Every structure is written in structure tokens, then in C-alpha cells.
Amino acid sequence: MPLFYQWDYAIRFELGVMSLSGDDDQLYLENVYKKALTLFHSLHEKEDQLIVAASVSDYGYGIKQPGHLHFFSKYIKERSMLRTLTHQTLPYMYAEDEEDDECATHVFTLTCRMEDLRLHPMIKAICRHDMGMKPSIPHEIYFINRTKGTIFFIYDDRGCDVLGTSRESLEHMYHDYNAWILDYDRKEIDETFKR
């Protein structure tokens, strides 16, 4: 179940309005990138302390931490930061039957600031994953803002979730980008922010 439905203060934004094909793919994606980057920059400032968390499921094949360092190395400005990367193995988060017990979810975390990241290529790669385009990031990436008490998560080119520890931490997002709120969840979101 998405974090949005488990959180008291959350907004679900629509990034991709409709699926286009052929020559329109680039125009569609440019709109997705623009919205994702606008929302990200509205929620974060250069000095904010961030944790970038990558959730990687191994589907039973096993995964080694060094083999996945290359993912982070593409999107950080200083490779020396990789020494601070942490790894934790958790039970497989999408387990449905006994066979899934052999699988695990690996969480890689990197503490940094926004200015430490190659943010634009990273956001674009996250948005492209379900489109089958390269470069892309096939993992779930969470931007946890320790300074502001928020989480920013792009689930795919269609949308992103913004979560906060308080209503006040997200109120400006609700008002400034209200037109981008996903209509499917709008009633619940309105109830949260109009109290």
C-alpha cells in the first residue's frame, strides 16, 4: 500500500496528465519533468539536510551492496560521499505468498544536501522508469527532508506523493499547486487541509 494512504498529512500530485504516443512522448515527459522539479524545489532548499533512500527488492536473486553503488555514483557530485552510504536488509515489502519469504528488500540511504546531488538527471531518470526509456532508475527513491520533516516520492511518470509530519509543513504545497492534485484522492486531501 502506498505511503500516501498510511500518512496523516499527505498530498498526491498528478505529473503526467495523459499517455501520449510516438512523437508526443518527449513533450509528455518534458511536462512530467517540469512538474516534478517544480514540486521538489518548492519543498526543499539548498541547505536542507536530506536522506535519499533507495528501496531495492532482490526477488530472490540476492543483491550485494557494492554492486549497487553505481546507481548513487551517477547522481552525486562527489564520489567520496559513497563512503557514507548505508545498507539495511528488510523482509520483502511486497510478499504475497511463502515463496516471497526468500526475497528481501534492501534499503540504501545517503545523507546529503540538495546541492550534493545531480538532481535534474536523477528526477528525470526516476520519471522515465515505467516508460522503458534510458537512463532510468528502477528503484523506489524517497527524498526525506530532515530539516522540514517531509518526504518526496515519485512513484512513476503519472504522479508523486508529498508527505509531512504536520499540516503546516505541506500547506503551501496544497495551496500553490492545488490544480495539480490528483482528482482521485482530492476529496481526502481537501478534508485534511481545509480543517
pLDDT at 195: 66
At residue 101, the 3 state secondary structure works out as helix
The more confidently predicted of residues 106 and 71 is 106
Residues 6+ apart with CB under 8 A from 70: none
In this predicted structure, the answer to whether residue 28 has a pLDDT above a threshold of 70 is yes
Model pLDDT, residue 94 = 57
Is 71's pLDDT higher than 80?
Answer: no
| CB atoms inside a 10 Å sphere around CB 146 | 11
**Percent of all residues in the chain with a pLDDT value above 90, rounded to a whole number:** 64
Residue 60 has pLDDT above 50, yes or no: no
Q: Do 7 and 163 touch, CB atoms closer than 8 A? A: yes
Task: Identify the residue with better confidence: 91 or 42.
Answer: 42
Comparing 131 with 163, which gets the higher pLDDT? 163
Question: Does residue 10 have a pLDDT over 90?
Answer: yes
The ranges assigned to domains in the chain are: 22-164
- Give the span between the Cα atoms of 62 and 49, in whole angstroms: 31
The percent of residues above 70 in pLDDT, for the chain, comes to 85
Cα(163)–Cα(165) distance, integer angstroms: 7
Encode pLDDT of 172-182 as tens digits.
Answer: 999 999 999 99
